[in-house]
Structure 1
Amino acid sequence: MDDDRVWSFEKSLWLGDADHYRELVDDECLMVLPQPPFVMSGKQAIEAVAHTPRWSEVEIAQEQVSRPQEGLIVIAYHAKASRGEEAYEAHCTSVYRRLAHDEWRVVQHQQTPPLMSRPAVDAAG
């Protein structure tokens, strides 16, 4: 899968419905998201998507793609998503595994919202 297709694939997961997730997310996938239950299986993530309004827009930046071995793609990026007035952003990773020619599934995904900057600590204490 070339890089353009990788990013199209990833964006489709932000915007797609539960049926789209069922098609592209492996049942054995592990996800870490910034809301309870925090750690989910692919099946749990698909169920959660079925009961969550989908994002209407997503912007992906700081894209990085690694191919550590044949049939495995690892990506990292920054996402900004929105639906109506609601906005969300996170630093993300995903791992795709090839099942057959031109057939890929997500086997790992995580989202880390930007950490709030902490005030500098005065050296005097």
Structure 2
Amino acid sequence: MDDNRVWNFEESLWTGDADQYHALIDDECVMVLPEQPFVLTGAQAIEAVSKTPRWSSVTFSEQQIMRPQEGLIAIAYKAEAQREGADGYVAYCTTTMRRLEHEEWRVVQHQQTPAPITSAA
């Protein structure tokens, strides 16, 4: 998967609906998110997303892509997400994807650490 496709794939997980999550999250995925229950399986993450308003937009910075072996991609980045009627959200994230078949990828790991809130001086 080329770099642009990696980032489009990741963006779709922030802005897509539960069907998108179901299509791209592996059953054996593990996630660590900043809200209870904190540690989720793939099925639990899909269920949580189906009950959560989606982000209307997200931008990535500080992006890193690693390809430690054929069929495995690990990324790290800073995400800044917005949705109407809510405060923005900034977090540092990692995602690991594995290839199942040609051009078919699934997330097997995702983690979010909220960025520290900084105040203007």
Instruction: For residue 85 of structure 1, report the CA deviation from its aligned partner.
Output: 3.5
Aligned residue number for residue 121 of structure 1: none
Aligned residue number for residue 26 of structure 1: 26
Amino acid of the structure 2 residue aligned with 1:108:
Q
Return the index of the structure with the highest Cα Rg: 1
Distance in 2 (CA, whole Å) between partners of 1:89 and 1:41 is 23
Structure 1 unaligned spans of 5+:
118-125
Distance in 2 (CA, whole Å) between partners of 1:35 and 1:110 is 12
> Pairwise mapping of residues 32-71 of structure 1 onto structure 2 (< 5 A)?
32-71=32-71
Instruction: For residue 116 of structure 1, report the CA deviation from its aligned partner.
Output: 4.8
Aligned residue number for residue 13 of structure 1: 13
**Aligned-pair identity (%):** 63
Instruction: For residue 114 of structure 1, report the CA deviation from its aligned partner.
Output: 1.3
User: What is the aligned-residue RMSD (CA, Å)?
Assistant: 0.9
Q: 1:112 is paired with a residue of what secondary structure?
A: strand
Aligned residue number for residue 107 of structure 2: 106
Q: What is the aligned length? A: 117
Moved beyond 6 Å, runs of 4+: none
Amino acid of the structure 1 residue aligned with 2:33:
L
Distance in 2 (CA, whole Å) between partners of 1:83 and 1:91 is 18
The TM-score normalised by the length of structure 2 is 0.94
The TM-score normalised by the length of structure 1 is 0.91
